[in-house]
Amino acid sequence: MQDTGRKIIHVDCDCFYASVEIRENPDLRGRPVAVGGMPDQRGVIATCNYEARAFGIHSAMASAYARKLCPDLIILKPRFDLYKAVSREIHRIFADYTDLIEPLSLDEAYLDVTECDKCHGSGTLIAREIRARVKEATRITVSAGVASNKFLAKVASDWNKPDGLCVVTPDQIDDFVRQLPVRKLHGVGKATAARLKRMGVETCEDLRQFSLVDMTQYFGTFGSRLYELARGIDQRPVEVSWRRKSISVENTYDHDLPDIKAVQLQIPDLLDELRRRYEKIQREYAVSKRFVKIKFNDFTQTTLEELCALSEKELYSPDYFIKLATKAWERRKKPVRLLGVGFRLHDLKPPEAQAQLELFES
């Protein structure tokens, strides 16, 4: 098992958007609350509180279906300016303990507090103090995981939610990881979990029965990653520089796009918005690929991408995106509820010049 000597904290706000809304309107406390799109507009749930989760509601669920599960569900439209302001407060607290902060979103981040001498240098005490300060300053709760690497810290932060703290000490790593379901491993989605289950693997202890050679043969380079995670090994540093990998525009339609012709007609409008967004950052990023994302009316989705030339004429040509969209649609040939277009990006800044991506930019 791995003891890196590092002290990593993963902090995750509890039902962040919903918690902020309940803070703003205490009358909502104790009632099922979700933040997201409206049911009559093909909206989806962004997050919900635990009262709503008791009905089986979760993020990315269609709002209309969520309302069927819980007729009394209160669905609020997102107020991102408000959430960003609260997130700034929380990050100012983080900065009192370390400069090594890797934000993953508005509501979660990794902190490397290895060199922090506050709280007697104890990662556990630092996490406890951060949680108390966030609660006092923002009146919302956060959960935290403390461990010697990012993988373990992130799993631990989810262990005692909500408003919880879980610490995995070096001598606990083996027992902690051994019992973990493989679906908890970073990068394991439904398809990989199903494949592992067919191999008789449901826990990390099961996974340890396979050698590194076996895992590489079965899963390629990802196999070696799985091999290490099943043993609690994660060498990734906390990355202060957090840069874009892609940029995209997507739209969920009030009514399904019934056929490929209807899909193709939507491409130019999406490209106009993509152009507007990319022009804001084109000095920092070059385009390497174009891609199309389609979510069908049965909620299955597919993404198709291709290398593209850098000339502006070809970059925004509807013809290329229409061809991609047509190929992607032919994989299912069903009505489409969501359509997106985007670019994969290459960072033009050298590593030493990269500044942390501003999570709070408009």
Q: What is the pLDDT of residue 360?
A: 46
pLDDT for res 310 = 67
Q: Given a cut of 80, is residue 312 above it in pLDDT?
A: no
Banded model confidence at residue 62, pLDDT cuts 50, 70, 90: very high
> What proportion of the chain, given as a percentage, has pLDDT over 90?
77
Annotation-wise, does 254 bind a ligand?
no
Q: How confident is the model at residue 191 (pLDDT cuts 50, 70, 90)?
A: confident
Q: At residue 127, does pLDDT exceed 50?
A: yes
Token pair in block for residue 79: 């107020």
- The CA distance from 125 to 143, in Å, is 14
Phi first, then psi: what are they for 94, rounded to 5°?
Answer: -55, -45
The Cα 339–Cα 253 span in angstroms is: 8
Rounded average pLDDT over 87-99: 93
- Tell me what the mean pLDDT of segment 198-218 comes to: 94
What is the strand order of the sheet 45-48 is part of? 45-48, 33-36, 74-76
**What pLDDT, on the 0 to 100 scale, is given for residue 1?**
54
Given a cut of 80, is residue 362 above it in pLDDT?
Answer: no
- Percent of the chain surpassing pLDDT 70: 94
Instruction: Give the CA-trace dihedral at 23, 24, 25, 29, to 10 degrees.
Output: -10
Query: Which domains are seen in the chain, by residue range?
Result: 16-79 (3.40.1170.60), 179-229 (1.10.150.20), 246-353 (3.30.1490.100)
> Looking at residue 242, what is its pLDDT?
64
Q: Cα separation of 128 and 151, whole Å?
A: 20
Residues catalogued as catalytic: 108
Summarize pLDDT for 274-307 with one digit per residue, the tens: 999 899 888 889 999 999 999 998 888 899 999 9
Task: Express each pLDDT in 330-359 by its tens digit.
Answer: 999 999 999 999 999 988 876 554 444 445
Residue, of 281 and 149, whose pLDDT is higher: 149
Sign, Cα dihedral of 320, 302, 214, 237? positive
* pLDDT higher at 52 or 348: 52
- Say whether 259 counts as a known binding-site residue: no
**Cα of 273 vs its chain's centroid, Å:** 23
Please report the beta strands in 14-130, taking only residues with DSSP state E, as ranges in sequence order.
Answer: 33-36, 45-48, 74-76, 101-105, 108-112
Residue 211 pLDDT level (bands cut at 50, 70, 90): very high
Work out the mean pLDDT of the chain and round it to a whole number: 91
- Most trustworthy range by pLDDT among 135-144, 240-249, 292-301: 135-144
Q: What is the mean pLDDT of residues 142-156?
A: 96
Q: Which of the residue ranges 36-40, 41-45, 175-179 has the most confident prediction, judged by mean pLDDT?
A: 175-179
Q: Is the pLDDT of residue 309 over 80?
A: no
Tell me the average pLDDT across 217-226.
90
